[in-house]
Amino acid sequence: MKNYNPQINIWQDSILSLPDKEFFNLIKLYLGEIKTPYNKQRLIEQLAGFIKNENNISVILSFLDSFDLEILCVISLIEKADKNKLFDFFKDKYSYSSLYTKLMNLQERLIIFQTNLPLNNQPIFKINPLMQSNIEPYINLSRIIPLEIIEKASTEDNFLITPTFIASFISYIQIKGCSGKADGNLKKSEKAFLEEIFNDKADCIQLLLSAFINLSIIFEGPKKFEINKQKLKAFSNLTFEQQYSLICISSNIRWGKESLQKQSQFFLDFLYSIPQTGLTKNSLFRLAFIIKNLNSTDSSDNQSRFSRILQAAKKDENSSANDNSSIIDLAIDSAIKFGLLQEYGTNSEGNEIYIRNKSIDDAVINTEKSDSPKVLNINSTYSVSIMPGLSLNQLLPLMSFLSIKKSGLVSEFEITRQSVSVAFNDDYTPEELFSELQKYTYYELPQNLLMNVTEWYNSYSSAVIYKGFVLKVKEENITFVEKNPNIQKYIQNKLGNGVYLLNIPIDENISPFLRSCGLDFMGNVKTPEIIADSIPFPTIKRRNSINLAFDKTDKDIAIETKKGIGILQELKSKLELSDFTENQKESLSIRLRNKLILSEKQLLTSSIRSEIQEAEGMDYNGKIHLLETAIKEDTIVEIHLPYFNTNDAVTFIGKPLQVNKQTGDAILTLRVEPTEEVESIKIRMINHLKLLKY
């Protein structure tokens, strides 16, 4: 069929799966008395016809309030919108009880429904497909993530974790040395020293250290932290965007290969989805939550406007136990400390507003240049100043012999005998050090620097102790060995004519190496360690298609709300003038309050629900009756209790387990949602009690 929508079948099945009592209550609520014989499927088709009626749709829309639309917006955007995701998303704005009650109410009003996922039977919420196209014009992302207006601009320094900052940290680890506690945290004395060098950014350094440990770039050696240089080299070859995304998402958690790719891509998408006007921290969480849970599928022929802008989002099953709101909170906190999120100012309520650091784009452009910018200044005292402009890949060779003195916009280093000795240990020659320095400066290197470094090298190389295994070949085999790429990559040093120090692991059987190199005429030996090829870092890139359209113009709900208020007032007036009994009027009044009655026809029906759904504080017997009914039918209840000696109330949602009647009162045993803690409550203390069911 041309306009066939499989979502309608899913909605019908969800109504059909309701317990009989709830099913018939729902049908009677909207269609009136059920005539026998009846057919459930036929009744559902009649209910669908009721929903599609233009007058009914118009009234349903006019009854929507801002809370309704916030929930509908989230359900529209995120994939598999279950109860836990919705509670996580709204945790800083709405209580569990108010959100739970609203979800129940939206189901009663036929606006949303629950269906179970086929694989794990997990219940999720969806918008009723019979009215989805009518609801979408009222949905706007700014309802749940409001755009901000700066009331007071920030005067904070604009810090950003740049390639030079990262390189300075690498210099500190390599040359000065750094040790930590057993848990990987920096020692107090080390932290104080780092505070001085890195301008009170020791907390940022701690996060950077944790990220590099989690990315296997840094590991704990026998006495201090050591660097996996092969892994660091691979990391430096990534773009700056890839580097800071990996650092930020790994600063608190060690991820597996697939999860690392998903998490770092999520972070990059999030960072470039932040509007230029900025967001509060709560709104940042909401934006990140939506991007992490993007709804990338739509089975309808006519995709919604949200579906179209989210097509590029890769499906994320969120099956990992770590994929929860705390991960998002940690990522945002790290982004703020790394300067990727910059404090822009405060809004009228005094809340900080953050934007993507404006310096990021400049840093990306600078580090993607293919030339060698002249950013070094070297003086005769061997101090070296480095201005911004070099990529991490360009900086790493310099960090082999430059010792960090002071990190900043222009970072200060020094060349010392100790620092160049570290480079000599890595087989650098003075000429190679000079070449790296000359590459990035306009001026000739100071003569005293050239002389002293050469002198230090001669002293360093005047006596060398080698540890390892040596390959010695006859003169006729020298050319074969030195031209053979399979052998050449294992030669650490040429000790003499035909004598080579190898860097093959000392505990391995050398036979496979000898055979691969054509030296299988030799016997087995044991040799020093070689680092195995590391797993490559995941590939991520900025995806311009992630566009959440903050500036979409939506239909004004205020006009509809005004219309809805008028309809409710008219229905209330007609109810007051009716000849129903007081109990019947009370029952219908509750329906009106919950926006379940759309027309006068529903007021004239003879199928008014007779059982009580709510009880006030003075109605002790009514509360007892409701609680006993809830226990019998295994139903959730909403309870309002006074908050100490104030006029305020605290609300609980939970499942009644037992009512223990005592002299003068009764005690309710309630299992509270979502904590599942068991509480004892005096029933006379309850101000308001409500059954949460159809």
Q: Kindly state whether residue 241 falls inside one of the protein's structural domains.
A: yes
- Write the CB contacts of 186 (distance below 8 Å, at least 6 apart in sequence): 178, 180, 194, 202, 205, 206, 209
Task: Give the range of the structural domain holding residue 646, as residue numbers without chain letter.
Answer: 614-691
Q: Are 396 and 233 in contact (CB under 8 A)?
A: yes
Residue 628: pLDDT above 80? yes
Reduced to 3 states (helix: H, G, I; strand: E, B; else coil), residue 96 is: helix
Q: Say which DSSP state 389 is in.
A: -
Chain segment 96-110, per-residue pLDDT in tens: 889 999 999 999 999
When pLDDT is cut at 50, 70 and 90, the band that residue 200 belongs to is confident
Residue 119 and residue 62 share a domain: yes
Q: In this predicted structure, what is the pLDDT of residue 326?
A: 86
Predicted confidence band of residue 643 (pLDDT cuts 50, 70, 90): confident
How far lies 290's CA from each of 67, 111, 480, 693, in Å? 17, 21, 61, 29
For 117, 327, 504, the CA distances from 528, given in Å and listed in that order, are: 55, 41, 5
Domain total of the chain: 5
Q: Are residues 340 and 381 in the same domain?
A: no
- pLDDT band at residue 222, thresholds of 50, 70 and 90? confident
Is 115 a member of any domain? yes
* Prior bond of 37 cis (ω within 30°): yes
Q: State the average pLDDT over residues 322-335.
A: 83
3-state SS of 236-255 is HCCCHHHHHHHHHHHCCCCC
The residue among 317, 343, 366 that closes a domain is 366
Residue range 529-539: average pLDDT?
61
Within this chain, do residues 487 and 632 fall inside the same structural domain, yes or no? no
What does the pLDDT average to over 394-423? 94
Spatial contact of 70 and 86, defined as CB atoms under 8 Å apart: no
Predicted local distance difference test score (pLDDT) of residue 112: 97
CATH of the domain at 33: 1.10.10
User: Poorest-confidence range of 305-319, 339-353, 569-583?
Assistant: 305-319
- Same domain for 360 and 384? no
- Examine the domain organization and report whether 361 and 374 are in the same domain: no
Mean pLDDT of the chain: 84
Q: For the segment 108-162, what is each residue's pLDDT rounded down to a tens digit? A: 999 999 998 877 788 999 999 999 999 988 888 888 998 888 889 888 778 999 9
Checking if the pLDDT of 418 tops 60, the result is: yes
Region 648-673 average pLDDT: 90
Asked whether the predicted pLDDT for residue 311 surpasses 60, the reply is no
Give the C-alpha separation, 634 to 654, whole Å: 11
Q: Are both 378 and 496 inside the same structural domain?
A: no
What is the mean pLDDT of the segment spanning 422-447?
92
Band of residue 467 on the pLDDT scale cut at 50, 70, 90: low
- The residue among 344, 366, 388 that closes a domain is 366
Count the Cβ atoms, other than its own, within 10 Å of residue 123: 11
Q: Nearest-CA neighbor of 341 among 358, 354, 328, 359?
A: 354
pLDDT tens by residue, 535-550: 678 888 877 645 566 6
Q: What is the DSSP letter of 655?
A: E
Q: What is the pLDDT of residues 225-243, one digit of tens each?
A: 899 999 999 999 999 999 9
Query: Could you tell me the pLDDT band of residue 313, with boundaries at 50, 70 and 90?
Result: very low
Nearest CA to 126 out of 10, 286, 23, 18 is that of 10
Task: Determine the average pLDDT of the residues in 403-419.
Answer: 94
One domain, residues 246 and 102: no
Summarised one tens digit per residue, pLDDT across range 550-590 is: 655 556 666 677 888 999 999 999 888 888 888 788 888 88
Q: What angle do CA 75, 76, 79 make, to 5 degrees?
A: 70
For 596-617, the DSSP string reads ---SHHHHS-S----S--EEET
225 with 289, same domain? Answer: yes
- Name the more confident of 630 and 507: 630
Mean pLDDT, residues 423-433 taken together: 91
Q: How confident is the model at residue 694 (pLDDT cuts 50, 70, 90)?
A: low
* Residues 488 and 456 occupy one common structural domain: no
Q: Which amino acid is at 137?
A: P
Asked if 173 and 207 sit in the same domain, the reply is yes
457 & 497 share domain: no
Token code pair at residue 174 = 């390599």
489 has pLDDT over 80 = no
- The count of residues in the chain is 694
* Tokens 């709104």 sit on residue: 283
> Mean pLDDT across the stretch 641-655?
81
Mean pLDDT, residues 495-522: 66
CA atoms within 13 Å, Cβ hemisphere of 384:
28
Mean pLDDT, to the nearest integer, of 22-29?
A: 89
* Of 366, 388, 411, the domain-final residue: 366
Q: How far is the CA of 260 from the CAs of 79, 256, 352, 437, 693, in angstroms? A: 20, 6, 30, 36, 42
The answer to whether residue 406 sits within a structural domain is yes
Beta strands (DSSP E) in 488-572 are 491-496, 499-502
Q: What burial letters (b/e) apply to 318-348, b meaning 16+ CB within 10 Å?
A: beeeebebebbbbbbbbbbbbbbbbbbbbbe
Rounded distance, CA 306 to CA 139, Å? Answer: 10
Same domain membership, residue 115 and residue 230: no
Q: Residue 496 CA to chain centroid, in angstroms?
A: 57
pLDDT the model gives residue 518: 63
Beta strands 491-496 and 649-662, pairing class: unpaired
Instruction: Give whichever of 1-10, 457-466, 672-681 has the largest mean pLDDT.
Output: 672-681
Residue 685 lies in a domain: yes
Res 307 pLDDT > 50:
no
The pLDDT value given to residue 537? 87
Provide the pLDDT for residue 76. 92
Q: Give the burial class of 572: count Cβ atoms within 10 A of its Cβ; 0-12 exposed, 13-18 middle, 19 or more buried.
A: middle
Which of 221-230, 462-471, 655-664 shows the lowest mean pLDDT across its residues?
A: 462-471
| CB of 491 closer than 8 Å to CB of 500 | yes
Instruction: For residue range 278-289, list pLDDT tens digits in order.
Output: 999 999 999 999
Residue 470 — pLDDT band, cuts 50, 70, 90? confident
Residue 646: count other Cβ atoms within 10 Å of its Cβ: 8
The mean pLDDT value for 395-424 works out to 94
pLDDT of residue 321: 34
Mean pLDDT, to the nearest integer, of 258-283? 92
What is the per-residue pLDDT for 271? 93
Beta-bridge mates of residue 183: none
- Considering the domain boundaries, does residue 573 fall inside one? no
Contact 623, 686 (CB under 8 A): yes
Task: Provide, rounded to the nearest whole percent, the portion of the chain with pLDDT above 90.
Answer: 49
User: What's the whole-number mean pLDDT along residues 44-52?
Assistant: 94
354 found inside a domain: yes
